[in-house]
């Protein structure tokens, strides 16, 4: 049986752009730093890309990691408030 080499393809043009925001969660007196990754634009069907959170360091307590949905909700609320303030 002959093995075929893997074929890797990468688009020349970017598919989308991301804006990275730094943030932190203070839990039991200790700060845990994160990046909130906000992809800009939509796919070919008009769907928005998912916002993601990545921690600076691997050792983040489970209780803090479980706050990711709240971090994203806080970001969306702040972004919406900024849009509302800019449209006035």
Nearest CA among 82, 87, 84, 85 for reference residue 19 = 82
Residue 81 has pLDDT above 80, yes or no: no
**64 and 27 Cβ atoms separated by less than 8 Å:** yes
Question: What does the pLDDT look like over 10-48, one tens digit per residue?
Answer: 999 888 899 999 999 999 999 999 999 999 988 889 998
Query: Where does residue 34 rank: exposed (0-12), middle (13-18), buried (19+ CB within 10 A)?
Result: buried
Mean pLDDT within 76-81: 84
Domain boundaries in the chain? 17-86
């Amino acid at each position: 049986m002959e093995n075929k080499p893997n074929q890797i393809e990468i688009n020349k043009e970017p598919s989308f752009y991301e804006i990275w925001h730094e943030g932190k969660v203070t839990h039991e007196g200790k700060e845990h730093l994160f990046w909130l990754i906000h992809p800009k634009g939509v796919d070919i069907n008009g769907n928005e890309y998912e916002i993601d959170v990545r921690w600076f360091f691997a050792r983040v307590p489970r209780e803090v990691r479980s706050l990711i949905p709240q971090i994203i909700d806080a970001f969306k609320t702040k972004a919406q408030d900024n849009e509302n303030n800019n449209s006035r």
